[in-house]
């Protein structure tokens, strides 16, 4: 990891560490976003289905950080997939956010029979300048290969479930080879792995928490990471990860916690 940003293939600089806001109430989202921007975050990851785009937009407007310094991601929900409906859903997201562009618009899940038409809409939105980058989420290699049979623009990002117990090495290797940036969702394993003795022990060496160790593990693996918290102290804690470096042995030890266990659905069998 050489700096705080990863350059996407179109030259756009994407922060490597952002705030995720799934399960943050709309009424709490503005506070969370404002705390994060104060703490140094420059990226917020929301989605239509999180029902908090309004609060996210309010937090952005409340903060003293200029809009152009903030990287905002939102996502196209499954019910809205298809060409016309995706165009409309995007307009609605912008309106709820109160923004005139987003930095990244993602297809949230690979809805069979629909994601290729949705992608055409995203390509058009990208061409209009209202999304500075477009990408996918929860796409396996075969979904991307299938998408590329009709796409003219290759996704710039794939946001997938990754944490120390689901390291996704084969998919990450494919994405790297394709120059598609890898972004991790549920990077802390939704908080379920923060008492793992190996992680706690590594943290003790640096005076850091297991959450900070995991975030560092993502960053040092060139994975963009969006830990969620709605607590000010934890939001700050999760950004305080730029003053220590895990050794290659520690990275390897964390890699070995992998048990290929998903917390979310498999993109090949989701039913929503």
Ligand X SMILES: NC(=O)c1ccc[n+]([C@@H]2O[C@H](COP(=O)([O-])OP(=O)(O)OC[C@H]3O[C@@H](n4cnc5c(N)ncnc54)[C@H](OP(=O)(O)O)[C@@H]3O)[C@@H](O)[C@H]2O)c1
Tell me the closest approach of the beta carbon of residue 55 to ligand X, in angstroms: 13
Tell me the closest approach of the beta carbon of residue 125 to ligand X, in angstroms: 18
Tell me the closest approach of the beta carbon of residue 67 to ligand X, in angstroms: 20
Nearer to ligand X, 190 or 220 (CB): 190
Nearer to ligand X, 90 or 185 (CB): 185
Q: Which structure tokens are listed for 42? A: 């420059």
DSSP letter (8 states) at residue 217: H
Tell me the closest approach of the beta carbon of residue 106 to ligand X, in angstroms: 7
Tell me the closest approach of the beta carbon of residue 193 to ligand X, in angstroms: 9
- Would you say the C-alpha torsion 23, 28, 34, 38 has a positive or negative sign? negative
Give the DSSP letter string of 96-164.
HHT-S-EEEEEE-S--TTTHHHHHHHHHHHHHHTSEEEEEEES--HHHHHHHTTT-SS--SEEEEE-BT
* CA–CA dist 168, 101 (Å, integer): 31
Phi-psi region of 19 (alpha: psi -120 to 50; beta: other; left: phi over 0): beta
Interface residue list for ligand X (CB under 6 A): 20-22, 45, 108, 137-138, 159, 185-191, 194, 209, 211, 226-231, 234, 237-238, 264
Catalytic residues: 50
Nearer to ligand X, 63 or 238 (CB): 238
Strand partners for 76: 107
* CA–CA dist 223, 79 (Å, integer): 29
Nearer to ligand X, 20 or 55 (CB): 20
Nearer to ligand X, 2 or 243 (CB): 243
Q: How far apart are the first and last CA of the chain?
A: 36
* CA–CA dist 69, 81 (Å, integer): 30
Question: Nearest to residue 272, comparing CAs of 79, 16, 6?
Answer: 79
Nearer to ligand X, 152 or 269 (CB): 269
Taking the CA atoms of the chain, what radius of gyration do you get in angstroms?
18
Closest residue to ligand X, based on beta-carbon distance: 20
Find where tokens 């560092």 sit. 216
Tell me the closest approach of the beta carbon of residue 33 to ligand X, in angstroms: 12
Question: Nearest to residue 17, comparing CAs of 180, 174, 176, 223?
Answer: 223
């Amino acid at each position: 990891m050489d700096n705080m940003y990863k350059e996407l293939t179109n030259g756009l600089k994407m922060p490597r560490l952002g705030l995720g806001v799934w399960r943050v109430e709309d009424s709490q989202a503005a506070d969370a976003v404002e705390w994060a921007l104060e703490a140094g975050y420059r990226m917020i990851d929301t989605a239509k289905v999180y029902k908090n785009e309004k609060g996210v937009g309010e937090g952005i407007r409340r903060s003293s950080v200029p809009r152009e310094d903030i990287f905002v991601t939102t996502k196209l929900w499954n019910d809205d997939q298809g060409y016309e409906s995706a165009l409309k859903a995007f307009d609605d997201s912008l309106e709820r956010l109160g923004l005139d562009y987003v930095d990244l618009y993602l297809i949230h899940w690979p809805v069979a029979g629909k994601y290729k038409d949705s992608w055409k809409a995203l390509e058009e939105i990208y061409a209009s300048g209202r999304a500075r980058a477009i990408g996918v989420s929860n796409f396996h290699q075969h979904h991307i290969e299938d998408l590329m049979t009709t796409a003219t623009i290759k996704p710039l990002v794939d946001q997938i479930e990754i944490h120390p117990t689901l390291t996704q090495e084969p998919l990450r290797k494919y994405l790297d080879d394709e120059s598609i940036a890898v972004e991790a969702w549920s990077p802390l394993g939704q908080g379920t792995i923060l008492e793992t003795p190996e992680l706690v022990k590594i943290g003790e060496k640096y005076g850091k928490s297991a959450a900070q160790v995991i975030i560092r593990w993502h960053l040092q693996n060139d994975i963009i990471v969006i830990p969620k918290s709605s607590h000010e102290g934890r939001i700050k804690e999760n950004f305080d990860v730029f003053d220590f470096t895990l050794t290659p042995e520690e990275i390897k030890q964390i890699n070995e916690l992998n048990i290929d266990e998903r917390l979310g659905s498999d993109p090949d069998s989701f039913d929503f």
